[in-house]
């Protein structure tokens, strides 16, 4: 009789343990289904926000761009085509934005840093290095080794803004400019940025019909490769300003700023040429003698 009671008590204990484990399983199952339901609701919300139709593709891996020419409108077309293939964003919009940032793709930053998107350097950059100064805006542009490096990093940036705005393959210049403004890509007035893109989009349309119209094209700007370092130096002196005459009307350098004898300098001799009063007009200042840059402070 006592043995039978002990067995009954043991059976009840096992039954209680089984019920407890089943209860835990039931709770875990409920939590699992709640998580699945929340994920499904989130996906539905994303779909509701997509007002532009088909989304661009996902940016994966390196983007290969035709590396010649190194700058100019043809280079921008090569970049736009390559980024379009990866993202699905219209090449026309991509070209228009690069044109807005660099004119005809031959700005100093485009030539020297292969940066056609006005990309700003930060310590976390994994592809580029520190490039030209941004002047009064502060900081530096990103310097990219080549067009492919630029396209690879830039594509991620524009794709993020494009997708957040829910834009599709039929997005207009106005929609794209608004999306980039909202994403914090630029600080200029949206109306001005859009107008600049509209003008560049028209240039793209013309170039698609006749690529021989491309402006600003060049093959330089290849980051001082070993091949360039081996080129012979002419040894000739040059004039650093293309639009300012060296002599005659329009020249503003006085005799006291030239190299040589001087009545106002200490020792009566000026050992250089000062260009401080010349109206540069925003143009690039060229080197006055050939040479190789060994160090930049």
Residue 247 lies in a domain: yes
Q: What percent of the chain has a predicted confidence (pLDDT) above 70?
A: 65
Residue 46 lies in a domain: no
258 and 141 both lie in a single domain: no
Measured between alpha carbons, how far is 28 from 23 in angstroms, rounded to an integer? 9
Given 153, 183, 213, the domain boundary residue is 213
- pLDDT per position as a tens digit, 149-165: 999 999 999 999 999 99
Locate 285 and state its tokens: 């200042």
Residue 44 lies in a domain: no
Given 184, 213, 242, the domain boundary residue is 213
Task: Give the range of the structural domain holding residue 284, as residue numbers without chain letter.
Answer: 234-289
What angle do helix axes 91-102 and 173-182 make, rounded to 10 degrees? 60
- pLDDT per position as a tens digit, 112-163: 999 999 999 988 777 899 999 998 888 999 999 999 999 999 999 999 999 9
192 and 105 both lie in a single domain: yes
Question: What pairs with residue 71 in β-bridges?
Answer: 218
Alpha helices (H) in 50-132, listed in sequence order: 73-87, 91-102, 108-113
Residue 168 lies in a domain: yes
For the chain, state the CA radius of gyration. Answer: 32
**Which parts of the chain sit beneath pLDDT 50?**
4, 6, 8, 40-57, 222-230
256 and 169 both lie in a single domain: no
149 and 273 both lie in a single domain: no
206 and 258 both lie in a single domain: no
Q: For the residues of 125-182, what is the DSSP string, one character each?
A: -SS-EEEEE-GGG-SEEEE-SSHHHHHHHHHHHHHHHHHHTT--TT--HHHHHHHHHH
143 and 269 both lie in a single domain: no
Residue 59 lies in a domain: no
188 and 246 both lie in a single domain: no
Given 213, 242, 272, the domain boundary residue is 213
107 and 208 both lie in a single domain: yes
- pLDDT per position as a tens digit, 236-251: 777 777 667 766 666 6
* pTM of the shown model: 0.57
- The domain tally of the chain equals 2
Measured between alpha carbons, how far is 284 from 136 in angstroms, rounded to an integer? 17
180 and 269 both lie in a single domain: no
Measured between alpha carbons, how far is 44 from 24 in angstroms, rounded to an integer? 31
166 and 241 both lie in a single domain: no
Task: Please report, for the domain that includes residue 188, its CATH number.
Answer: 1.10.530.10
**Which of these, 182, 162, 43, lies nearest to 94 by C-alpha position?**
162
How many CB atoms within 10 Å of residue 27?
10
Burial (CB < 10 A; 0-12, 13-18, 19+), residue 130, is middle
Question: What pairs with residue 289 in β-bridges?
Answer: 237
Residue 154 lies in a domain: yes
How many Cα atoms are found within 13 Å in the side-chain-facing hemisphere of 264? 6
208 and 238 both lie in a single domain: no
Locate 238 and state its tokens: 């040059």
Residue 164 lies in a domain: yes
**Which of these, 193, 224, 205, lies nearest to 117 by C-alpha position?**
193
């Amino acid at each position: 009789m006592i043995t039978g009671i002990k067995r009954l008590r043991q059976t009840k204990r096992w039954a209680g343990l089984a019920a407890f484990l089943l209860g835990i399983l039931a709770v875990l199952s409920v939590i699992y289904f709640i998580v699945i339901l929340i994920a499904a609701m989130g996906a539905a919300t994303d779909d509701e926000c997509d007002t532009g139709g088909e989304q661009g593709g996902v940016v994966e891996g390196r983007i290969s761009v035709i590396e010649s020419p190194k700058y100019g409108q043809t280079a921008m077309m090569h970049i736009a085509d390559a980024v379009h293939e990866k993202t699905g964003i219209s090449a026309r919009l991509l070209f228009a934005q690069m044109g807005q940032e660099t004119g005809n793709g031959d700005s100093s930053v485009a030539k020297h840093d292969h940066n056609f998107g006005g990309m700003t350097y930060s310590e976390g950059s994994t592809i580029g290095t520190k490039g030209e100064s941004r002047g009064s805006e502060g900081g530096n542009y990103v310097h990219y080794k080549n067009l492919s490096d630029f396209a690879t990093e830039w594509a991620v940036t524009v794709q993020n803004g494009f997708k957040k705005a829910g834009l599709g393959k039929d997005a207009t210049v106005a929609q794209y400019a608004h999306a980039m403004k909202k994403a914090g890509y630029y600080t200029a007035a949206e109306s001005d940025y859009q107008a600049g893109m509209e003008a560049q989009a028209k240039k793209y349309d013309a170039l698609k019909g006749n690529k021989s119209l491309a402006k600003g094209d060049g093959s330089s700007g290849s980051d001082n490769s070993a091949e360039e370092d081996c080129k012979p130096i002419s040894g000739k002196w040059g004039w650093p300003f293309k639009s300012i005459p060296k002599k005659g009307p329009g020249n503003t350098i006085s005799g006291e700023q030239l190299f040589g004898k001087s009545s106002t300098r200490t020792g009566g001799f000026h050992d250089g040429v000062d260009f401080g009063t010349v109206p540069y007009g925003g143009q690039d200042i060229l080197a006055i003698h050939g040479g190789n840059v060994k160090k930049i402070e």
